[in-house]
Amino acid sequence: MKSYLIKTFGCQMNEHDSEVLAGILETLGYTPTGEMERAGIILLNTCCVRETAENKVFSLLGRLRRQKMGNPELIIGVCGCMPQQEHMAARIRQLFPYVDLVFGTHNVHQLPELITRVEESREAVTEVWPGSPVIKEDLPVRRKEGVRAWLTIMYGCNNFCTYCIVPYVRGRERSRKPEDIVAEAASLAGQGYKEIILLGQNVNSYGKDSGSGFDFADLLKKLEDESGIERIRYMTSHPRDFNEKLIKVIAASAKVCEHFHLPVQAGSNKILKKMGRGYTREAYLNLIAEIKALVPLATVTTDIMVGFPGESQEDFNDTMDLVRQARFDSAYTFIYNTRPGTPAAGMEGQVSEEEKKERIQNLIRLQNRISLERSIEEIGRIQEVLVEGESKKGKGLQFGRNRGNKMVLFPSAEDLTGKTIKVRITAAQIAHLAGEIV
């Protein structure tokens, strides 16, 4: 039973943490399996940003009880963001006493030691540090095969938006050294990866904790010059910290893609202030205008929350108006839900579920119309597409992403995976473009 299965919930940071967990397990002699019944160790790498993610974890843990009863040697572990919440580790232990291992986001590197403790004592082990001032380098990573790889440049968040649990479970901002990041990027290029996605809760804050003056724009330039990687993306950016220097670096770059993901969250100044976002709607729209002036073919995407406490119909109308003005290429839209331990959880004026659902449907309809219009504008353009493989949408179709991060489908009898090709866009849908090789 030296096989493992990792079930990941949540964001790209969690996905990459799971790659590290997989790398550690494989150095211990474990091999991956896609079947829970065949696993000797099952790790649930959890998220707590949304209540739905937590509910999925609890449901899966409930279903694992029978498997544990049939195989007492099975090790079941819960890790990631959920255990970092106050009292959550104890709650997991109480509700699911057959869970062997509970550890947090700061304890990933301890996995070999924790497994040994479980095996030797056959008792449950809990290890959740409140924070970690030291970044552990050179941990093994088992990345997925493909053309792109995630690369973490920093950990934690200092923003403390009133709705967000992330700073409480990921800790304060800690930036990796530029030379370590460049070395990892160069290694990925040597392994055949064509594109890297730089990860951080707020990549624009990179370097602020070091006091060296070396910032995110400087890191992008260094990666362009020294890493050997073909394409560079990043997520996520905070609008408040996106400055002119960074825009100009991206505009001048041959490798940093022209995709700007800037979560606006709301279009009402009143709500933005209550959220603690640190900018106004006017400042946000000015930023979009500046980006499009310096990078005319930029793709701009966003996150928008509906139903934050105190959001009136007028506030929601402001959000709709901002969407019409910004003309996002796409938006991740979601309904606010209460996260215990955040300031927003205790705010007055909680919006009814019925009203939230009506508002988000109106928002989705508007954004879908704009997304289609923005995609239609691409028709006739010749774009650079990094091919990812065969599409499931039809035989003989392959797919890749353009520099704006839009999916592009095109016919080809030859397997072009990993190659960067020129494609003329001939048709457009909300979620993807179609074209022909030039």
At 1 the pLDDT is 66
CA pair distance 67, 103, nearest whole angstrom: 21
164 annotated among ligand-binding-site residues: yes
Strands (E) located in 112-255: 125-127, 148-152, 154-155, 174-175, 195-199, 231-235
- Strand-pair partners of 409: 399, 434
The answer to whether 395 touches 429, Cβ cutoff 8 Å, is: no
79 annotated among ligand-binding-site residues: no
DSSP string, 279-311: --HHHHHHHHHHHHHHSTT-EEEEEEEE--TT-
Which residue in 316, 313, 348 sits closest to 333, CA to CA? 316
CA pair distance 107, 172, nearest whole angstrom: 15
CB-count exposure of residue 23 (10 Å: 0-12, 13-18, 19+): middle
| Stretch (H or E) spanning 399 | strand 397-402
Q: Label the pairing between strands 101-103 and 75-80.
A: parallel
- Strand-pair partners of 422: 384
What's the N-to-C CA distance of the chain in angstroms?
Answer: 51
The answer to whether 287 touches 431, Cβ cutoff 8 Å, is: no
Render each residue's pLDDT in the chain as its tens digit; 438 residues. Answer: 699 999 999 888 999 999 999 999 999 999 999 999 999 999 999 998 888 889 999 999 999 999 999 999 999 999 999 999 988 999 999 999 999 999 999 999 999 999 999 999 989 999 998 888 778 898 999 998 899 999 999 999 999 999 998 898 889 999 999 999 999 999 999 999 999 999 999 999 999 999 899 999 999 999 999 999 999 999 989 999 999 999 999 999 999 999 999 999 999 999 999 999 999 999 999 999 999 999 999 999 999 999 999 999 999 999 999 999 999 999 999 999 888 889 999 999 999 999 999 999 999 999 999 999 999 999 999 999 999 999 988 789 999 999 999 999 999 999 999 999 999 999 999 999 999 999
CA pair distance 215, 340, nearest whole angstrom: 33
Report in angstroms the alpha-carbon separations of 202 from 34, 156, 236, 324: 33, 8, 5, 26
Could you tell me the domains of the chain? Answer: 3-127 (3.40.50.12160), 143-257 (3.30.750.210), 289-377 (3.30.750.200), 382-437 (2.40.50.140)
48 annotated among ligand-binding-site residues: no
DSSP string, 341-356: TSGGGG-S-PPPHHHH
Number of helices (H), then strands (E), in the chain:
12, 19
Strands (E) located in 39-176: 41-46, 75-80, 101-103, 125-127, 148-152, 154-155, 174-175
Q: How many residues does the chain have?
A: 438
257 annotated among ligand-binding-site residues: no
81 annotated among ligand-binding-site residues: yes
